[in-house]
Amino acid sequence: MSIARLIKLSLVGRAAQKTETLEALQELGCMHVLPLAPPPSEPEKISARGARDAYKALRFLTDVPEPRRQIQRDTDFNMDQFVKDVRDLMQRSRDMTDRRDFLADRIAKVRPWGDLDFPPDDVLAGNRLWFYQLPLKRRDALNGLTLPWAILEQDHRFIYAVLISSDEPADDILPVPRTHTGSLPIHELEAQLEEAEIAIEALEAERVAQTRYLTLMRRNLSVAESAAELAHATQKVRDEEAMFALQGWVPEDLVDAVLDMAKGKDAAILIEDPGPEDSPPTLLEQPEKRNAAVDLALFYQVPGYKDWDPSVIVAVSFAFFFAMIVADAGYGVVILLGLLLFWKRMDGTAGQKSWRRYGLIISGATIVYGVLVGSYVGVSPPEGSILAKVKLLDLNNFGAMMMVSIVVGVLHLVLANALAAHAAWGQRKAIANLGWIAALIGGFVLWLSYMKGNSATPGAVILSAGVLAILWFSSDRQIDKPIDWLWRLIGGIQALAGAMGAFGDVLSYMRLFALGLASASLAITFNDLAVSVMHALKGPGILFALLILIVGHALNFALAMMSGVVHGLRLNYIEFFKWGLPDEGIVFRPFARKEVQE
């Protein structure tokens, strides 16, 4: 796999051919459109990618527990109008639900004062009623009032009082704020609440009736998505009197197809290679069977256009790291059996098939590594057996396993710098990457020499050469005057400050050994505990031992899966990408028509 080479195309045509040209370009589905026109000043008028309204309407209808019998054919079905009708139904349902909740809340607040019919203003000689909910302990505050008042209701906590006044009383007339009850009595509010609930039922019935179009809606989602994509691209087109202009990136091998289309629409095309100031998007060229590797690599970061494709390396290293963290062949078999259980369900799309194949790689790597460390659900193979003979690693040999983890870390970071140097070859930073490779290898050789008591000269020479390369080639500053030499040296010193980071990144790979040891130790512990319980309790001890084995290994398996995924990805995304892909790119999003769903 590699990053596709892109060409910038600028298309100019007649305004009368604008819609037809855009539809033809969408049919080709090969251009990443660039904005030539500023977006609308009003955010609500900006066309978003994807048929958001259609998906909201679909979710609204699919939430109905018992949909109606589906209509399979309807020549008059209009997707756009149907989505508008469902969205309108959603809004009316939301408004009526809000009104129902408001009325229920108002009734709950007014009920303590009783079902009052408010008299007209002229009956009270221009006075009005003002309601207060007063705690019992503040009853004495009523005695000091100069305004007429009365207690309408009282419970074990509050006094519900009313004051009579032509003007609203002052805020401090009582030690509590005034209660807003409105002007409608409870029986009127309850009547309105009943009407709202009946209206909600009617709207729900309308919603259920609309579910008969779910199948047609799903079939036409591609139409809605294509229309939204077209509207989004149209807003990026620049219009000038009787002409329009469109610009975007196209893969090099598809430029001829765009040229043929433009010729048929009487449009002019300007072809340009990416310039130094351009930031082309990144399009990874890969066969469908490797979709899982691409998904895994792009999950965290998109590589830059001038960088390299990390998909295969990330996929391979993640499977290896996952196996080292789980460190048990029995757990690998469980993963394989689970994958086989869902095998047919993952036979739909090319992406699902790719993940299915990658699952085989992960389970196979886990089984192989589990055999190498001699762990089978926490049980070691008997001495002299075939499985014991192929046990090449001992998790309890801390020195050897630490050495393996450090070697893996050094090789992983060396590979990252080597690929970064290859991508930047011809630039000064490529030499700096080679310097980091020398520094990593030299530091490792120096450490080995110290551990074994050998001469430190080879490691020191390699490390020194790497430090000099980092110091002098890390800065890309141009030399225009003598002071620039100093600034270039300062830039190298700043880059060299990353040496501590490199040391820490190598040590991060120690988690492979630590987590693998923890997983294996827990498995052994649960096995020993089950055996102890079985021997201590005759009869029921077998049942308790089985429970311990099932619960213990299920917990340990879950922890191993979580650790394998999180830390296996972390070593790729954080440590590996830091050295190999320091810059993030832009994903290539083609302006294309969506496939029709059957």
Secondary structure, 3-state, 56-120: HHHHHHHCCCCCCCCCCCCCCCCHHHHHHHHHHHHHHHHHHHHHHHHHHHHHHHHHHHCCCCCCC
- Whether residues 155 and 197 share a domain: the answer is no
Residue 438 has pLDDT above 60, yes or no: yes
At 47 the pLDDT is: 56
pLDDT tens sequence across 89-132: 999 999 999 999 999 988 888 887 777 777 776 677 778 888 88
Domain span at 138: 119-182
Distances (CA, A) of 84 to 87, 89, 541: 5, 9, 66
In angstroms, the CA 114 to CA 185 distance is 9
Residue 277 belongs to some domain of the structure:
no
More confident position, 205 or 536: 205
Q: Which residues pair with 587 in a beta bridge?
A: 282
Q: Do the beta carbons of residue 113 and residue 181 sit within 8 Å?
A: yes
* Confidence label for 558 from pLDDT (cuts 50, 70 and 90): very high
Give the 3-state secondary structure of residue 33: strand
Give the 3-state secondary structure of residue 46: coil
pLDDT tens sequence across 147-162: 888 888 888 888 888 8
Residue 29 belongs to some domain of the structure:
no
Cα 181 to its chain centre, rounded Å, is 47
At 385 the pLDDT is: 86
- Whether residues 415 and 432 share a domain: the answer is yes
Comparing CA positions, the residue from 134, 207, 211, 143 lying closest to residue 177 is: 134
Residue 143 belongs to some domain of the structure:
yes
Please identify, among 199, 219, 235, the residue that sits at the C-terminal boundary of a domain.
Answer: 235
Distances (CA, A) of 483 to 194, 477, 479: 84, 11, 8
At 421 the pLDDT is: 92
Comparing CA positions, the residue from 170, 174, 182 lying closest to residue 109 is: 182
> CB-hemisphere CA count at 13 Å for 469?
20
Residue 313 belongs to some domain of the structure:
yes
- Whether residues 205 and 176 share a domain: the answer is no
In angstroms, the CA 513 to CA 303 distance is 29
- Whether residues 488 and 376 share a domain: the answer is yes
At 31 the pLDDT is: 93
Q: Which two tokens stand for residue 428?
A: 């000064």
Residue 30 belongs to some domain of the structure:
no
Average pLDDT over residues 260-287: 89
Comparing CA positions, the residue from 299, 327, 369 lying closest to residue 522 is: 327
More confident position, 376 or 45: 376
Residue 27 belongs to some domain of the structure:
no
In angstroms, the CA 118 to CA 183 distance is 7
- Whether residues 102 and 168 share a domain: the answer is no
Residue 331 has pLDDT above 60, yes or no: yes
A 10 A CB-CB count for 162 gives 18
- Whether residues 170 and 199 share a domain: the answer is no
Per the document, the length of the chain is 598
**What single DSSP character describes residue 144?**
T
Comparing CA positions, the residue from 567, 520, 569, 563 lying closest to residue 329 is: 520
Phi, psi of 150 (to 5 degrees): -155, 150
- Whether residues 413 and 446 share a domain: the answer is yes
* Confidence label for 597 from pLDDT (cuts 50, 70 and 90): very low
Residue 345 has pLDDT above 60, yes or no: yes
In angstroms, the CA 47 to CA 359 distance is 39
At 313 the pLDDT is: 93
- Whether residues 375 and 226 share a domain: the answer is no
Average pLDDT over residues 215-240: 85
Q: Which of 276-280, 321-325, 533-537 has the highest mean pLDDT?
A: 321-325
- Whether residues 366 and 505 share a domain: the answer is yes
Cα 549 to its chain centre, rounded Å, is 35
* Confidence label for 583 from pLDDT (cuts 50, 70 and 90): confident
Residue 216 belongs to some domain of the structure:
yes
At 598 the pLDDT is: 44
Q: Which of 115-129, 287-301, 488-502 has the highest mean pLDDT?
A: 287-301
- Whether residues 403 and 466 share a domain: the answer is yes
At 560 the pLDDT is: 93
Query: How do strand 243-251 and strand 158-165 relate by DSSP bridges?
Result: unpaired
Q: What angle in degrees, to the nearest 10, is found between the helix axes of 18-28 and 221-234?
A: 120
Give the 3-state secondary structure of residue 292: helix
At 582 the pLDDT is: 80
Helix (H) or strand (E) holding 153: strand 149-154
Q: Secondary structure of the chain: what % helix, strand, coil (to 5)?
A: 60, 10, 30
At 48 the pLDDT is: 57
pLDDT tens sequence across 370-392: 999 999 998 888 888 888 888 88
- For the CA atoms of the chain, what is the radius of gyration? 36
Report the predicted TM-score, pTM, of the whole model to 2 decimal places.
Answer: 0.74
Cα 468 to its chain centre, rounded Å, is 41
- Whether residues 553 and 499 share a domain: the answer is yes
* Confidence label for 416 from pLDDT (cuts 50, 70 and 90): very high
* Confidence label for 595 from pLDDT (cuts 50, 70 and 90): low
Q: Do the beta carbons of residue 59 and residue 210 sit within 8 Å?
A: no
DSSP one-letter string for 359-403: HHHHHHHHHHHHHHHT-BTTBPPPTTSHHHHT----TT-HHHHHH
Residue 160 belongs to some domain of the structure:
yes
Average pLDDT over residues 244-248: 93
Domain tally, the chain:
3
- Whether residues 141 and 195 share a domain: the answer is no
The chain-wide mean pLDDT, for the chain, equals 87
Residue 589 has pLDDT above 70, yes or no: yes
Q: Do the beta carbons of residue 338 and residue 376 sit within 8 Å?
A: no
At 42 the pLDDT is: 55
Distances (CA, A) of 594 to 261, 283, 430: 19, 18, 41
Handedness of CA 324, 326, 330, 336 (dihedral sign): negative
Tokens 């129902």 locate to: 100
Handedness of CA 431, 437, 439, 441 (dihedral sign): negative
In angstroms, the CA 115 to CA 155 distance is 16
At 45 the pLDDT is: 52
Q: Do the beta carbons of residue 244 and residue 237 sit within 8 Å?
A: yes
State the distance between the two ends of the chain, measured CA to CA, in whole angstroms. Answer: 31
In angstroms, the CA 29 to CA 541 distance is 66
Lowest model confidence (mean pLDDT) among 132-146, 354-368, 470-484 = 470-484
Distances (CA, A) of 89 to 84, 86, 194, 207: 9, 5, 20, 7
Q: Do the beta carbons of residue 6 and residue 250 sit within 8 Å?
A: yes
Residue 557 has pLDDT above 90, yes or no: yes
A 10 A CB-CB count for 444 gives 20
